Each structure stands twice: as structure tokens, then as C-alpha cells.
Amino acid sequence: MACGVDPNKTTLFVQSSVPAHAQLARLLGSITTVGMLRRMIQFKEKSKDGEGESASLTLLDYPVLMAADILLYDADVVPVGDDQRQHLQLTRDLAERFNQTYNTNVLRVPEPLVVAEVARIMSLTDGTRKMSKSDSNDGSRINLLDRPELIVRKIKRAKTDSN
């Protein structure tokens, strides 16, 4: 709501209060291979050694939960940025695999919606890197709870293309 989501037009809820998220993730996990998950770019980037040997199960399994979050609501189209394309492709693959495995069409295979102008939001301090909540420099991003005056200051300091 702090960023303009209208509660009169949008359903807001606590994900953990809906058991179906975890239940569907568990079902999808039964048809997801470790190889599929180890190929995820974000897993490779966030695992300390780049191979994932030191990573937690949660980091490896997170894309399956994300797929459950999407598939649970029967979405036709999912808005994604460039860095989420691979996650949505995994979601599509899992929906197709589930439907084939269980000879059903219960899971809709969603299409990506990528808006070119906002497909990749760049860091406010380094225009060659994407904006990230995990960047150690708080000035590199706009946080949901930043006050308006801080947002203005961060944007005014942002590195921009002189052209």
C-alpha cells in the first residue's frame, strides 16, 4: 500500500496463511529435478562457491515455491523483468510436466509479459548493474519504506547516461 497499491482494487493477504502455497510447492517439488534447480542463474550467483555445494536447500528450492505462488492463482500472463524470465520459464516447465505426469490440464501454463522500458531497473549508483535489495549500498536502490525526501535525494544522486 505504501507504493500505491489500492486495497479497494487489490486483494492483500499473508502468504503463509494460505496452506495451498506450501502444499503445491511440495507437489511441484516431487517432479522437479535437482539439475533443473542448479541451472537457475540466481542460485549460481548466490551460492558462495558458484556450484551450490555450500548453499541451503531453501535457496535451491525457492524457484519451486515461486512457481507454486504463480500457478496457484491460474494466471494467464505474469509480468516479469529480465531477471525473472528464467523463473517463469521454470514455472511453465513445471506446469507442463505436472499436467503430463498426471494426465491433466489442471495447471495453466502462463505467458510472460515483459515491458521493455522497465524490464531491467538499474542501480542508482552504478548504471551498469541492476537494482538489487541485496546490494550493500543503501543508496543504490529505492526501498519500500524510504521516506519521500530520501527517495528524491537518491534519485538526484543517481548515475545517468549523459546522452
Of the listed 130, 154, 156, 159, which one is catalytic?
130
Q: Which amino acid is at 156?
A: K
Whether residue 141 contacts residue 126, with contact meaning beta carbons closer than 8 Å, is answered with no
* Residue 156 annotated in active site: no
Residue whose entry in the numeric block shows the C-alpha cell 507437489: 27
Question: Which one from 9, 46, 156, 159 is the annotated catalytic residue?
Answer: 46
How far apart (Å, rounded) are the C-alpha atoms in residues 45 and 154?
A: 27
Whether residue 9 lies in the annotated active site: no
Active site residue 130: yes
Given 9, 44, 48, 133, the catalytic residue: 133
Question: What long-range pairs does 158-162 form, CB within 8 A, spacing at least 24?
Answer: 158/124, 158/125, 159/123, 159/124, 159/125, 159/126, 159/127, 160/127, 161/127
Over the range 101-117, which residues count as b (16 or more CB within 10 Å of their CB) and which as e?
eeeeeebebbebeeeee
Q: Residues with catalytic annotation?
A: 46, 130, 133
